[in-house]
Amino acid sequence: MIRSIIKLFLLLALIAIAPFLIDEKGYILIAMGDLTYELTVVSAIMLLVIAAFIFAFVLWGTRIGWKFSSRTWRKMAFSNKAKAKLEFQKGLAAYLLGDYQQAETLMAKCAERSELANSAWLIAAASSKKQDNAAKTANYLQLIAEHPDAQENFSFETLLVAGRINLDDKQFSKARALLDDNHKLIGHDGRLLGLEIEVCLHENRFDKAIEQLKPLRKNKHLDKDKVTDWEKRSFSGYFQQLSQQQSIEAVAKYYKSLSRKERQSEGIVLAYADCLSANGLVTNLEELILPLLKKDASPSFIHAVKRLPIQHSQHVIAAIQKVLLKQPENILWLSALAHLCAANKEYDKAHKAFTALLKIKQLPDDLLGYANLLENMGEHQQANRVYQELLNA
């Protein structure tokens, strides 16, 4: 570039001094219509040089101005986002440290300017919920529903958290509206299906909850006890509706129409057992429960079995004892054995089971059962001592 400028300068200099070398000024004639301009070569070159300098200066000024304005625009455009990002990070740190008031303030302040608008509103909502401010929590969730930037990046994680907050605050109609408006996001995600089931249970739409359970059973990542609980609540509600609207025979017919796999499901079996017990039909409970008394039975199932009014539960007791031969210190099975033996008035077996159990762990439910057993056995003084332990616990 510099070499080209030097060459051009030398060429212009040569043209400028040429008239003096040959003792002739030289003229340039420019004619435009009726107008005629006459310039010497020297003056023409001087005008060209001046024009070139003016052009270079204007170009330089334009580039400097553009560079400055571009930098200023970028600074103005991105400074808000940078500030919002910093506030988001501080707000998240405050939430993790338990400073919910500060977290709420920062997240509400940066949400509209942040690229993570949904997350900011959700953390603000969770922070206000931690402060028991239901009105603000509802307001932040409403902003997610209405704000265009938040809606643009709406995801099933946003739906899950917002729906769970609504559910915890007993805002069932809002949770339902949120799920219905974004039903395409639910798909087969276990967490969202669980949320849908919870809302259906609160709405007493037990048949809809049962329908959602079918794809949920295929999810291997969900807690088994949680799925069992959903099954029990869904089928218990449906069985109760069916028995009230039709008859207990209709419930039995529906239960028999279920697939073999469903009739081996802990939650469904417990729901059916509760329905039979509520209608005074307890003679077949042992036959119903017995096939599921395996070593891999869930804790919730074992707890539920010991509370069932099973008459003549010798086979159930024998099945539990068989498990305990391999797991003699399993407190879940020991507790079930103790309570069932006490209910069937097999006091010696119950006493041995309670004694072994309470040496390992003393839970209020088991202490109360032991105290009742001692009272039934006529050992009132010892029963009073256990009752006193319960009161002092």
The pLDDT of residue 393 is: 67
Span 213-218, average pLDDT:
79
Nearest-angstrom CA–CA distance, 43 and 21: 17
Residue pLDDT, tens place only, 129-167: 888 887 787 777 777 766 655 555 556 566 777 777 788
Nearest-angstrom CA–CA distance, 119 and 153: 10
Residue pLDDT, tens place only, 259-291: 988 888 899 999 999 999 888 888 888 888 888
Tell me the pTM.
Answer: 0.65
Nearest to 255 by CA among 215, 284, 216: 284
Nearest to 311 by CA among 335, 287, 275, 279: 287
Residue pLDDT, tens place only, 82-92: 777 777 778 87
Q: Band of the pLDDT at 241, cuts 50, 70, 90?
A: very high
At position 144, the amino acid (one-letter code) is I
Angle between helices 117-130 and 100-110 (to 10 degrees): 150
Residue pLDDT, tens place only, 104-113: 888 888 777 7
**Which two structure tokens, joined as six digits, stand for 166?**
């609504």
Q: Which residues contact 132 (CB under 8 A, 6 or more apart)?
A: none
Which residue has 């040959």 as its token pair? 22
